[in-house]
Amino acid sequence: METRKLGKSRLEVSALGLGCMGMTFGYAPFPERKDMITLIRKAVDMGVTFFDTAEVYGPYNNEELVGEALEPLRNRVVIATKFGFAPAGESESNSKWNALDSRPQHIKKAVEGSLKRLRTDVIDLLYQHRVDPQVPIEDVAGTVKELIVEGKVKHFGLSEAGVNTIRRAHAVQPVTALQSEYSLWTRTPETEIIPALEELGIGFVPFSPLGKGYLTGKIDEHTSFESGDIRSITPRFAAEARIANRALVALLETIGLEKNATPAQIALAWLLAQKDWIAPIPGTTKLPRLEENIGAAAIELTATDLQKIQEAAARITIQGARYPEAAEKMTGL
């Protein structure tokens, strides 16, 4: 697989990474740990070098999984993880895991835990998981800068941050990458975020590039989700929204027929065609889906193809919020 550099930092990663969250968090029921270790290692064999996890996924067990899987392959991969949520008993304002906490002392403690769970002596890319309105972003960036000087972290990233936050952080410690949701059904970053990233030389790592699975074409109004699946409480996955949003999948299917590709592959190829410093991280727990996603990197969409997609997508209004209200409030966009 081709590689890409994330902005001016020159951090080189595979064009498509692997988001590991769903292996232990968010999309219950979860597969066997040993099977996910095998999957992650197969991904490396197929050219994937960029793996994404976070302290809060599980919590903790996702980093442990990624650490075990990649320990024997550590010199071949880039590992990204995140801080910014407080485990029970550690937050000043809330005892739940959804409490934000980016206080400097908490960041340092979180990094020590992540290093141990990931079985490594350095984190390649460390993101603030969500902007904490109680802590100045300059303090956050300054803390990560100290960790970089200490050799515990190589690169600094932000997730779901707005342009003002990005600029303020970047002035203290250069931001290597922004990770936010971006796909054909979540195009909010195009207005302000992507132009700012291009100006500042910051890479972009889209999560949920397949719309939490919807853009694969495998989900319709009859699909049921388990109670532990975040889609069961996500407005955009309400039955009526799934019906209304079907037009976008139909568009991907049409282009796919022309390219001998699946809707998922066209959705990923479209993202890769936007900028050469964009590296999506589709997640999966299944080998056939991993192979399908990787195949997207070989699909070339012409200027005519992209124009056709742009014009058709502009006529489609996506229905439903991408998060439940409480989670939406945590984004900095």
* Residues forming the active site: 57
Residue at token pair 């008993």? 89
Compute the radius of gyration of the chain from its Cα atoms: 19
- Cis bond leading into 29, ω under 30°? yes
Dist CA 243 CA 181 (whole Å): 22
Task: Report residue 123 as tokens.
Answer: 């984190």
Dist CA 34 CA 170 (whole Å): 39
Cβ neighbour number for residue 298 with a 10 Å cutoff: 12
Taking a C-beta distance cutoff of 8 angstroms, is the pair 333, 160 a contact? yes
Dist CA 86 CA 330 (whole Å): 14
Taking a C-beta distance cutoff of 8 angstroms, is the pair 261, 267 a contact? no
